Structure 1
Amino acid sequence: MFAKERQDDIVEQVNQSGSVKVKDLSLKYQVTEDCIRKDLAVLEKKGLLKKTYGGAMSIRTNPHLYSSLQRKDMNNDERIVIADKVISLLKNQDTIFLDISRTLVEVAKLLNQSTLTLNVITNMIEILDLLRHNKNISVIFIGGELNKERDGFWGGLSVQMIQNFKIDKAFLGVVGVDMNHGKISTYYVEDGLMKQAVMKQSQMNYIVCEERKRREDGQFIYGNLEDLDGMIVAGSLNKDDQKYIKEYDIDII
């Protein structure tokens, strides 16, 4: 294998698993560890990965601020799988919070196909619109400052309103999950403060997390993995993420 082929393969591997080790790569490609270190140095200089002690990790990205409409069809297969798992966690008479999230829009669609009797609190307009005619579901809408790009409300008034409720289970959106450092983030400060307020009012807190979000970051850290009861994903975690998650007492669903 030529050096260029090996380096391309290393980039693909680090993007898939999140991190790699020099020792493992040396064994895989049957070259010296010093050779692998030189490969990693070249790839870091190109901005394709970040060198760490004994290996390398993928470069976490900050995604563009897509509007709710732009995000509508992104990764929808994953969202449907996650939404089905959310439904499995619910029981009759639960009071739940559904955050501003395209995945939680899929949850609302599934609720309309179910016979569950619930109290649903939300600050997302599309979720309100989907559930407003459901006779089995009592909907409480949280108002405040409208963010048209996100199709929902947040801000000081929203925080004040949510503080008046007791929630059994909160399902929160997330922009990025840093598995290594245990941080969860979102785009906007106002959105993050709203999520923090919801978490304080809820007995159980879950994030709905597509695979790509474990490689991305938002600008505002609104919590830690240890603040959560669970992370709901579409598939299984890779080996590195499984290793990191053991440090936190949360369920992977």
Structure 2
Amino acid sequence: MLAITRINQIRELVKQNRSVVVSKLADQFAVTEETIRRDLKKLEEEGVLVRVYGGAYSIEGVQNDVDYLLRETILVPEKKRIADRCLPLVNNGDSIYIDCSTTALQLAMSLTSHHLTVVTNSLRVAQVFSDSNDIHLVLIGGSLHNRSMSFLGQNASQALANYFVDKAFVSCRSLSMENGLTDSNEDRATIRRIAIERSSKTYLLLDNTKFGSTSFAHIADISAIDTLITDEKVSDEWRIFLASKNVTLIEG
């Protein structure tokens, strides 16, 4: 196969699937991973995608749902900083909800020695706590969504609605002043909306890339959260806006 043909096919795969993995592409096209990385670099230079360790993803489109394994490699230091800022907010004895975001996963990794009740729909978060004797873990079941490694759908929503927690730690795909919290997947948006409704306090964990955009499904208005935690200083416009909505800001 000619290189230009392979690159065009990869372009279409990115358009269709929103993200691609280097090892899978190498197997599919029977070439080396280094060849695929060169192809992805060319497509990145054309503005088609963004490369990350192990793959690439498209940042275009309100329904862009990036594969979980790729999201775990994106902005890791920033997500760890956000998780560090969350730690003082968690007290032994709390009941908390942790969502399926990779930022919340970083928080979960820091809480294994706490005495907590943790409710989650995230398979990865459940794995983090599976060996902890100090965590009472409640895993919300439902249909497993492979791209987010989380349980979604009607059964998951109904199960989560049975619980009330002290604090919810959630993220979202996008945040805008006009449209609030939005997500690329409507079932995930529903789960996050229920978590917000069932918590006494809600903390929104958001890295700097998610401000000022809108995704496919509405989760909640910004006034539904209590505190926004981010990795960098926000603009004066955002600071004034959050204050007008009575949202506490913890920033970099």
The two structures share one fold, judged by TM-score above 0.5 = yes
Whether contact under 8 Å (1:97, 1:121) holds in the other structure is yes
Q: 1:200 aligns with which of 197, 201, 208?
A: 197
TM-aligned CA distance change 1:224 to 1:157, over 3 Å: same
CA deviation map 1:76-110 (0-9, x unaligned): 11100111111110001100000010011111111
- 1:91 alignment partner in structure 2: 91
Distance in 2 (alpha carbons) for counterparts of 1:88 and 1:99:
18
Q: Aligned AA for 2:71? A: R
Deviation at 1:126, TM superposition (A): 0.8
Whether contact under 8 Å (2:64, 2:184) holds in the other structure is no
- 1:53 alignment partner in structure 2: none
Distance in 2 (alpha carbons) for counterparts of 1:63 and 1:144:
22
Deviation at 1:241, TM superposition (A): 1.3
Q: Give the SS at the match of 2:202.
A: strand
Q: Aligned AA for 2:217? A: F
CA deviation map 1:23-73 (0-9, x unaligned): xxxxxxxxxxxxxxxxxxxxxxxxxxxxxxxxxxxxx97473211011111
Whether contact under 8 Å (1:61, 1:215) holds in the other structure is no
Q: Is residue 148 of structure 2 the alignment partner of residue 150 of structure 1?
A: yes
1:213-224 to structure 2, matched below 5 A, reads: 213-224=210-221
Whether contact under 8 Å (2:181, 2:220) holds in the other structure is yes
- 1:161 alignment partner in structure 2: 159
Distance in 1 (alpha carbons) for counterparts of 2:85 and 2:63:
26
Distance in 2 (alpha carbons) for counterparts of 1:239 and 1:163:
37
Q: 1:116 aligns with which of 114, 117, 122?
A: 114
Deviation at 1:217, TM superposition (A): 2.0
- Indicate the percent of aligned positions where both proteins have the same amino acid: 20
Whether contact under 8 Å (1:187, 1:219) holds in the other structure is yes
- 2:188 alignment partner in structure 1: 191
TM-score, normalised relative to structure 2: 0.72
Q: 2:229 aligns with which of 228, 232, 235?
A: 232
Whether contact under 8 Å (1:172, 1:206) holds in the other structure is yes
CA deviation map 1:109-160 (0-9, x unaligned): 1112xx4210001111111011111111111100101100110011111111
Q: How many residues align?
A: 191
Deviation at 1:237, TM superposition (A): 1.1
Whether contact under 8 Å (1:232, 1:252) holds in the other structure is yes
Distance in 1 (alpha carbons) for counterparts of 2:239 and 2:179:
12
Larger Rg: 1
Q: Give the SS at the match of 2:181.
A: strand
- 2:171 alignment partner in structure 1: 173
Q: Is residue 129 of structure 2 the alignment partner of residue 131 of structure 1?
A: yes
Distance in 2 (alpha carbons) for counterparts of 1:196 and 1:95:
18
- 1:241 alignment partner in structure 2: 238
- 2:79 alignment partner in structure 1: 79
Q: Give the SS at the match of 2:68.
A: coil
Distance in 1 (alpha carbons) for counterparts of 2:197 and 2:237:
30
Structure 1 stretches lacking a partner, 5+ long: 1-59
Q: Aligned AA for 2:149? A: D
Return 63-72 or 125-134, whichever deviates more.
63-72
